[in-house]
């Protein structure tokens, strides 16, 4: 079945490849306690493996002075979530406890690393990320985080639509179920991004 689907996509012309550009930034999507600590939030899952992989990439990025950007979702008023929070009312929990917006401490966020607070799935929806990336001269994003089918995918689609080159770190993104995780990785690879492993990302950062 997988081979048949691949053949259909190739026949349709989804065969392009994106190069790594001139300057990389790391985009970590929603690895906040509201999504990573099941003891605090019903939205959360055990994403320990993916967080460990992301921490490995961040350590190397810091060593090489590669800019790091974190995203987090939070609401002072649930109306900020517009229609999305009506469709996904579980997000309302992010309005009740500011701690759920905190970046998971296992990622050891540094004071000079930007945290972008968003209200919707995409890191690009109503945030200053485009100007921040442009000001840093970044044209390529190494993307980690959660969820693959939700905020990761939305951010990747918007990244390429805004002229950035997205590379999804396939073993450092995660979802609440394996089926949407796999299907969205496949679709992003076909249409919007390249997939690489943590080790490949670290190997590339080592060359900087």
Query: pLDDT tens digits, residue range 100-148?
Result: 999 999 999 999 999 999 999 999 999 999 999 999 999 999 999 999 9
Within a domain: 173? yes
Query: pLDDT tens digits, residue range 21-77?
Result: 999 999 999 999 999 999 999 999 999 999 999 999 999 999 999 999 999 999 999
Within a domain: 16? no
CATH number at residue 64: 3.40.50.850
- Count of domains observed in the chain: 1
Query: pLDDT tens digits, residue range 155-186?
Result: 999 999 999 999 999 999 999 999 999 999 99
Within a domain: 71? yes
Burial 104-120 (b: 16+ CB within 10 A, else e): beebebeeebeebebbb
Q: Domain residues for 48?
A: 21-206
pLDDT at 1: 57
Within a domain: 11? no
Within a domain: 1? no
- Name the residues annotated as catalytic: 151
Longest dimension (CA), the chain: 49
Within a domain: 7? no
DSSP 8-state class, residue 32: B
Within a domain: 117? yes
Per-residue 3-state assignment (H helix, E strand, C coil) for 134-163: HHCCCCEEEEEEECHHHHHHHHHHHHHHCC
């Amino acid at each position: 079945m997988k081979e048949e689907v691949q053949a259909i996509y190739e026949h349709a012309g989804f065969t392009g490849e994106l190069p790594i550009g001139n300057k990389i930034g790391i985009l970590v999507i929603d690895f906040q306690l509201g999504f990573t600590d099941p003891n605090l939030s019903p939205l959360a899952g055990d994403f320990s493996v993916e967080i460990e992989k992301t921490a490995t990439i961040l350590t190397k990025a810091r060593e090489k002075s590669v800019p790091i950007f974190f995203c987090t979702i939070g609401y002072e008023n649930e109306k900020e979530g517009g229609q999305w929070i009506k469709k996904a009312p579980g997000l309302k929990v992010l309005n009740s406890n500011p701690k759920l917006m905190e970046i998971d401490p296992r990622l050891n966020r540094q004071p000079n690393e930007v945290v972008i607070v968003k209200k919707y799935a995409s890191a690009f929806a109503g945030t200053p990320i485009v100007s921040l990336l442009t000001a840093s001269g970044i044209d390529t994003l190494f993307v980690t985080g959660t969820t693959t089918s939700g905020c990761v995918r939305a951010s990747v689609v918007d990244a390429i639509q805004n002229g950035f080159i997205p590379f999804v770190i396939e073993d450092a993104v995660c979802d609440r179920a394996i089926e949407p995780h796999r299907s969205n990785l496949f679709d992003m690879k076909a249409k919007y991004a390249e997939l690489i492993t943590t080790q490949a990302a670290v190997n590339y950062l080592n060359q900087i």
